[in-house]
Amino acid sequence: MSLTVETLMSKMPGAFIPEKAVGLDAVIQFKFTGAEAGDWYAVIKDGKVEVSKGEHASPKMTLTADSSDYVKIFTGEIDGMQAFMQGKLKLAGDLNLAMKLTQMFKIK
């Protein structure tokens, strides 16, 4: 079974490593294009993450990617930095948050 964005987003809270997000209060907006186009956001606060469908009014960072590329980045098939350099992953807002993002979630 291939991973879908919906499955991936629903697994985010379980993959979250609270110790890596101490003191963080941020909203990350995900904008997916391609086969599974849609908007999601993750609220990281008080050592927890809550993921919801839709758009948040004031995200700290916005990540835009093709849904299939994002799944490959999350599973480690594609390196996130390489994807960013190749324009497959677009970031807006707090770029330091993007660097932390890869450390805050354990990829299985």
Convert the pLDDT of each residue in 66-91 to its tens digit.
999 998 988 889 988 899 999 999 99
Tabulate helix, strand, coil % of the chain (nearest 5): 40, 30, 30
pLDDT classification of 105: cutoffs 50, 70, 90: confident
pLDDT (average), residues 28-50: 96
pTM score, whole prediction: 0.92
The dotted CATH code for 5-103 is 3.30.1050.10
pLDDT at site 108: 53
Inter-residue contact 38 to 53 (CB < 8 Å): yes
Give the tokens for residue 5: 């964005």
Domain boundaries along the sequence of the chain: 5-103
